[in-house]
Amino acid sequence: MTLWRFMLILIGAWLLAFGARAADARPGSAGDAIATCVKRADPRIDPRAELARPVGYDCATRQMRFGAGDFLVISQPIRTGANWPAQVRSASLWQTRSTLHALYADGRIASLSMDQHAASRGVQLGAIFQQTLPVRGVPVVRLLWHVEGANNLRGIVLDPRVARPSEAAASNLLLAGVYSAFAGLCIALLLYNLALWGALRHRFLLHYCVMVAMLLVYAVSSSGALAWIVPIGNNDRMRVNNLALALSATAALSFARSFFEARVFAGWLGRISTGVSAALVVAAVAFATLQGVWPYLASRLYAFSFVALMLLVAPILWRAWARESRYFQLFCIGWGAPVTFAALRIASSFGILEWSFWLDNSTILAMTAEALLSSLAIAYRIRLLAHERDQARAQEIAARLLADTDPLTCMLTRRAFLRQAIGREGDQVLMLADIDNFKRVNETIGHDGGDEVLRAVARALEAAAPPGVLVARIGGEEFAILSPAGLALDADDVLDRIRAARMPYDLTVTASIGACTGRLLGEADWKAMYRDADRALFAAKTAGRDRARRATRSDARTLAVAA
Asked if residue 554 has pLDDT above 70, the reply is no
Asked if residue 542 has pLDDT above 90, the reply is yes
In the predicted model, what is the mean pLDDT of residues 218-246? 87
Which of 12-26, 337-351, 353-367 is predicted with the least confidence, judged by mean pLDDT? 12-26
Q: Indicate the average pLDDT of the chain.
A: 84
> How much is the pLDDT for 290?
87
Rounded Cα distance between 158 and 156, Å, is 6
Rounded Cα distance between 269 and 329, Å, is 19
* Residue 523: CA count within 13 A, CB half-sphere: 1
1: confidence class by pLDDT, cuts 50, 70, 90: very low
pLDDT digits (tens, 9 = 90+) for 128-152: 999 999 999 899 999 999 999 998 8
- Coil, strand or helix at 144: strand
Asked if residue 375 has pLDDT above 80, the reply is no
Rounded Cα distance between 411 and 408, Å, is 8
In the predicted model, what is the mean pLDDT of residues 550-554? 70
> How much is the pLDDT for 28?
59
81: confidence class by pLDDT, cuts 50, 70, 90: confident
Cβ atoms of 94 and 238 within 8 Å: the answer is yes
In the predicted model, what is the mean pLDDT of residues 141-168? 91
Higher pLDDT, 189 or 110: 110
Give the CA distances from residue 371 to residues 159, 236, 331, 382, in Å, rounded to whole numbers and listed in that order: 30, 28, 12, 16
Share of the chain above pLDDT 70, in %: 87
Residue 10: other Cβ atoms inside 10 A: 11
Contacts of 298 (CB under 8 A, 6+ apart): 286, 287, 289, 290, 291
Asked if residue 426 has pLDDT above 70, the reply is yes
Length of the chain: 563
Residue 515, by phi and psi: left (phi above 0), alpha (psi -120 to 50) or beta?
Answer: beta
In the predicted model, what is the mean pLDDT of residues 101-124? 89
> How much is the pLDDT for 377?
66
How do 36-40 and 511-520 pair as beta strands?
Answer: unpaired
Share of the chain above pLDDT 90, in %: 39
In the predicted model, what is the mean pLDDT of residues 379-397? 71
> How much is the pLDDT for 308?
93
Rounded Cα distance between 295 and 17, Å, is 39
- Coil, strand or helix at 331: helix
Contacts of 306 (CB under 8 A, 6+ apart): 246, 249, 280, 342, 346
Torsion angle (degrees, nearest 10) of CA 452, 453, 454, 455: 50
Cβ atoms of 91 and 360 within 8 Å: the answer is yes
428: confidence class by pLDDT, cuts 50, 70, 90: very high
Give the CA distances from residue 40 to residues 13, 56, 283, in Å, rounded to whole numbers and listed in that order: 47, 9, 30
- Coil, strand or helix at 382: helix
> How much is the pLDDT for 346?
81
Asked if residue 5 has pLDDT above 60, the reply is no
| Helix locations, 291-327, DSSP H | 295-322
Q: Name the phi and psi angles at 293, rounded to 5.
A: -105, -55
How do 470-475 and 511-520 pair as beta strands?
Answer: unpaired
> How much is the pLDDT for 89?
93
Rounded Cα distance between 248 and 253, Å, is 9
pLDDT digits (tens, 9 = 90+) for 440-490: 999 889 999 999 999 999 999 999 988 889 999 998 899 999 999 888 788
Rounded Cα distance between 123 and 232, Å, is 12
Cβ atoms of 97 and 55 within 8 Å: the answer is no
> How much is the pLDDT for 407?
85
Asked if residue 305 has pLDDT above 50, the reply is yes
The pTM for the full model equals 0.65
> How much is the pLDDT for 18?
44
398: confidence class by pLDDT, cuts 50, 70, 90: low
The candidate with the shortest Cα–Cα distance to 110, out of 85, 131, 90, 134, is 134
β-pair partners for 288: none
In the predicted model, what is the mean pLDDT of residues 111-125? 86
Higher pLDDT, 508 or 392: 508
Number of H helices, E strands in the chain: 16, 15
In the predicted model, what is the mean pLDDT of residues 307-331? 89
In the predicted model, what is the mean pLDDT of residues 418-427? 90
> How much is the pLDDT for 11?
46
Rounded Cα distance between 485 and 129, Å, is 91
372: confidence class by pLDDT, cuts 50, 70, 90: low
> How much is the pLDDT for 543?
93
> How much is the pLDDT for 553?
56
> How much is the pLDDT for 385?
67
> How much is the pLDDT for 88?
93
In the predicted model, what is the mean pLDDT of residues 155-172? 90
Residue 306: other Cβ atoms inside 10 A: 21
112: confidence class by pLDDT, cuts 50, 70, 90: very high
> How much is the pLDDT for 15?
46
